A = this chain, B = another copy of it.
Amino acid sequence: MTQKTLKAAVLGASGYTGAETVRLLRNHPHVEAVAATGNALAGQKLSSIFPHLGGRGDLDVIKAEDVRWDEIDVAFGCLPHGTSQDLIETLPSNVKIVDLSSDYRFRDPVAYSKAYGREHIAPERTASAIYGLSEHAAESLKGADLVACPGCYPTAILMVLLPLMSPLIIDTDSIIIDAKSGASGAGRGLKEGNLFCEVTEGTHAYGVGTHRHTPEIEQELNLRAGKSDIEVTFTPHLLPMARGEHVTCHLRGDVHDVQAALEAAYANQPFVTVLPLGSPPPDTRHVRGTNDCRIAVYPDRVKGRVIVIGVIDNLVKGSSGQAIQNLNLMMGWDQALGLDVLVPLFP
Hey, which bits of chain A sit against chain B, CB under 8 A?
16, 19, 23-24, 26-27, 50-55, 174, 176, 178, 180, 182-184, 188, 190-192, 194-206, 208-210, 214, 231-233, 235, 237, 239-244, 246, 248, 250, 273, 280-289, 292, 298-302, 305, 307, 309, 311, 341, 343-347
Supply 16 A–B pairs (Cβ within 8 Å), ascending by A: A19-B346, A23-B346, A51-B286, A54-B273, A55-B273, A183-B197, A188-B192, A197-B347, A200-B240, A201-B288, A202-B284, A202-B285, A209-B301, A209-B307, A233-B305, A233-B307
Residue contact A204 to B284, C-beta cutoff 8 Å: yes
Give Cα distance in the complex from A285 to B52, angstroms. 7
Residue contact B201 to A241, C-beta cutoff 8 Å: yes
Also in contact, A16 and B347, with CB within 8 A (given A196-B240, A241-B240): yes
By a CB distance below 8 angstroms, the chain B residues around A232 are 302
Give Cα distance in the complex from A203 to B240, angstroms. 10
Give Cα distance in the complex from A232 to B233, angstroms. 17
Residue contact A345 to B345, C-beta cutoff 8 Å: yes
| Copies of this protein, total | 4
By beta carbon, the residue of chain B nearest A218 is: B301
Residue contact A201 to B242, C-beta cutoff 8 Å: yes
By a CB distance below 8 angstroms, the chain B residues around A309 are 205, 208
Residue contact B27 to A341, C-beta cutoff 8 Å: yes
Most buried by B among A197, A206, A242: A197
Residue contact B178 to A52, C-beta cutoff 8 Å: no
By beta carbon, the residue of chain B nearest A207 is: B281
A253 CB to closest chain B CB (Å) equals 13
Residue contact B196 to A195, C-beta cutoff 8 Å: yes
Residue contact B243 to A347, C-beta cutoff 8 Å: yes
By a CB distance below 8 angstroms, the chain B residues around A55 are 273, 292
Also in contact, A195 and B201, with CB within 8 A (given A176-B250, A246-B237, A301-B214): no
A74 CB to closest chain B CB (Å) equals 20
